[in-house]
Amino acid sequence: MKISIEHLAKLARLSLREEEKELFVGQLDSVLTYMEKLNELDTGTIEPTSHVISLSNVTREDMPEASLSREEALANAPGHTDKFYRVPRIIE
């Protein structure tokens, strides 16, 4: 077994139930085994492709423009004050 499911779930910020952990360990293992097929290929000197069209540093002029109002930006938040997002306590 390649995966520490607890570690991964923590990295992914997912609290998994015991039965989910069991199910995922088996399923992820079988998918990863399938992915090992890629090792049949010698890719030593091949450049990786992250994007198929080569665009880099697409910028615009740094000019202030209209954007969402504070009310609009906060409207979908599960918790907010009139100015801020509200979240559970972070600092003891």
Partner 1 sequence: MELFSLSISELRSMIDKGEVSASEVTASVFRRINAVEGRIKAYVTLTGDKAGEMAEKAGGEIAAGRKKPLSGIPMAIKDNMCTKGILTTCASKILSNFIPPYESTVTTKLAANGYVLTGKTNLDEFAMGSSTENSGLHETSNPWDIERIPGGSSGGSAAAVAADECIAALGSDTGGSIRQPAALCGVVGLKPTYGRVSRYGLVAFASSLDQIGPITKNVSDSALLLNIISGRDRFDSTSAPVEAPDFTSFIGKDIKGLKIGIPKEYFIEGMDPEVDKSVKNAVRKLESLGAIPVEVSLPHTGYAVATYYVLATSEASSNLARYDGVKYGFRAEAGELMEMYMKTRAQGFGAEVKRRIMLGTFTLSSGYYDAYYRKAQQVRTLIKKDFDDVFGLVDLVVTPTTPTPAFKFGEKTADPMQMYLADIFTISVNLAGVPAISIPCGFTSGNLPVGLQMIGKHFDEGTILKAAYAYEQSTEWHMRKPDL
Longest dimension (CA), the chain: 57
34 contacts partner 1 (rule: CB under 8 A)? yes
User: Residue 35 CB: number of other CB atoms within 10 A?
Assistant: 9
39 contacts partner 1 (rule: CB under 8 A)? yes
Q: Which is nearer to partner 1, 37 or 83 (CB)?
A: 37
11 contacts partner 1 (rule: CB under 8 A)? yes
Contact 1, 29 (CB under 8 A): yes
Supply the DSSP symbol for 39: G
# chain residues binding partner 1, by CB under 8 A: 50
| CA angle in degrees (0–180, nearest 5) for 73-90-88 | 55
15 contacts partner 1 (rule: CB under 8 A)? yes
Supply the DSSP symbol for 59: -
- Report in angstroms how near the CB of residue 84 gets to partner 1 at its nearest: 11
| C-alpha–C-alpha distance, residues 82 and 74, integer Å | 8
84 contacts partner 1 (rule: CB under 8 A)? no
- Report in angstroms how near the CB of residue 17 gets to partner 1 at its nearest: 8
Q: Please select the residue that binds partner 1; options are 1, 18, 43, 83, rule is CB under 8 A.
A: 43
